[in-house]
Structure 1
Amino acid sequence: MKAKRKINYRWIIRTFIMTFMLAVIFSVVSEALMRNVNVFSAFLMLMIIIFIGIFFDAIGIAVAAANEKPFHSMASAQIKSAKYSIMLIKNASKVSNFCNDVIGDIAGIISGTTIGIIIGAISQYNIPTKFYPYLSVGISGLVAAMTVGGKAIGKEIAISRAKEVVDFTGKIIYVLKLVFSIGTYKKMLQGRRDRNV
């Protein structure tokens, strides 16, 4: 008889809070950035948001599909980014939840907000109001098609090249950690110098 798997309530609560905070932050920032932009800039922002959703969805799928063994060999060969790839695979369920659900849903919410801003921006071109519903439906349909189609392509790449996707993600995490660690070290060093003056 299989032992019952415990429900990780801490992770659920943490995900809830994290999603709420990220959704609020990204919504406020994106709305602030796009309030005074033209239609072209708003469309460009929308494409970036859609791409972010597709990119993270592919990472979530790749982490769940990847095999851990090749990265242990890479870690043995002193490839520093490999340990981050291993960490991603070991926490596949959490990483997939964050990438596919948290980031994916936030990208979808912001896309919807952006569509509303684009429709508002189009109003400056004196288009008759009777066309607004058609514009809204047309743009929403286009965004949905691009998102679903993009994620379908991303899933194919993520499953067929899971190792490469996870390796690439591990390298990004390694570089980001290295950059932020250097930045933190420089601040600490500067603080010590200031105290010694």
Structure 2
Amino acid sequence: MDNKLKKSLKFSLSIAVITFVLAAIFSIISSSVLSEVIWIFGLIIVFIIVFTGVIFDMLGIAATAAEETPFHAMASEKVTGAKEAITIVRNADRFASFCNDVIGDISGIVSGTASAVVVLQLTQVMGYGEGSSIQIAISVVLTSIVAALTVGGKALGKFFAIHSSTKIIFFAARVISWLETKLKVKLLTNATTSTKKTR
């Protein structure tokens, strides 16, 4: 089997496992938290989850659109975050896969589950039973709002990702650099520097 294909399959498998674990964790946490708060705070949590998905979708697209050149100049001047930015751009396919597919898709799934919990809480407060026409109507409205915010937000995020990719990736790289310093954990690796982008 081709070496590149082996690496691709290995990465795909690892992403699938990570997605399974994170989706389970986020679903459990969101359901547990939502069951303990009133519906208005639950609704805010739903919007935060949607916003998270939009932001990570923008990061993934920005990574594929960004160029290495500006970051090399920064790295030569030892600007914080420059090396991390180069690593992100060189591994744009993997970074985008994690941001768009893992975090983005999990956010979509969890926001749907969280919305269902909020609808149930709201209808109970209003005194309507499960399966009532009011519950169905609220569910349709909330689901439509979440879908509109998700699609509209990602469309806007794509615009910024394409036109401001350098700024977005540099900001993300600085955040990652700060987290690595504070947590003393390597979040990015240079293992695939051979995938350096060429234009």
TM range (shorter): 0.7 to 0.9
Quote the offset at 1:5 in angstroms.
8.5
Inter-CA distance 156–21: structure 2 relative to 1 (3 Å threshold): same
1:154 is matched with which residue: 135, 157, 160? Answer: 157
Inter-CA distance 9–114: structure 2 relative to 1 (3 Å threshold): same
- State the percentage of identical aligned residues: 36
Alignment match, 2:107: 107
Q: Which has the higher helix share?
A: 1
Counterpart amino acid of residue 6 in structure 1? K
1:176 is matched with which residue: 151, 174, 179? Answer: 179
Compute the TM-score of the two structures, normalised by the length of structure 2.
0.87
Map 1:99-138 → 2, pairs under 5 A: 99-122=99-122, 123-127=124-128, 129-138=132-141
Alignment match, 2:194: none
Query: Residue deviations 1:155-196, cap 9 Å, x none?
Result: 1001000000000000000010111129xxxxxxxxxxxxxx
Alignment match, 2:168: 165
Alignment match, 1:46: 46
Counterpart amino acid of residue 159 in structure 1? I
Map 1:52-131 → 2, pairs under 5 A: 52-122=52-122, 123-127=124-128, 129-131=132-134
Counterpart amino acid of residue 71 in structure 2? F
Secondary structure of 2:79's partner? coil
Aligned residues: 179
Counterpart amino acid of residue 64 in structure 2? A
Contact 2:120–2:135 under 8 Å retained in 1: no
Contact 2:61–2:96 under 8 Å retained in 1: yes
Please give the alpha-carbon distance, in whole angstroms, between the structure 1 residues aligned to 2:128 and 2:27.
27
Give structure 1 stretches of 5+ with no counterpart.
Answer: 183-197
Please give the alpha-carbon distance, in whole angstroms, between the structure 2 residues aligned to 1:86 and 1:101.
21
Give structure 2 stretches of 5+ with no counterpart.
Answer: 186-199
> Once superposed, which parts of structure 1, at least 4 consecutive aligned residues long, lie more than 4 Å away?
none
Q: Between Structure 1 and Structure 2, whose CA radius of gyration is higher?
A: 1
Query: Residue deviations 1:46-83, cap 9 Å, x none?
Result: 11101100000000000000000000000001113100
* 1:6 aligned onto 2:26: no
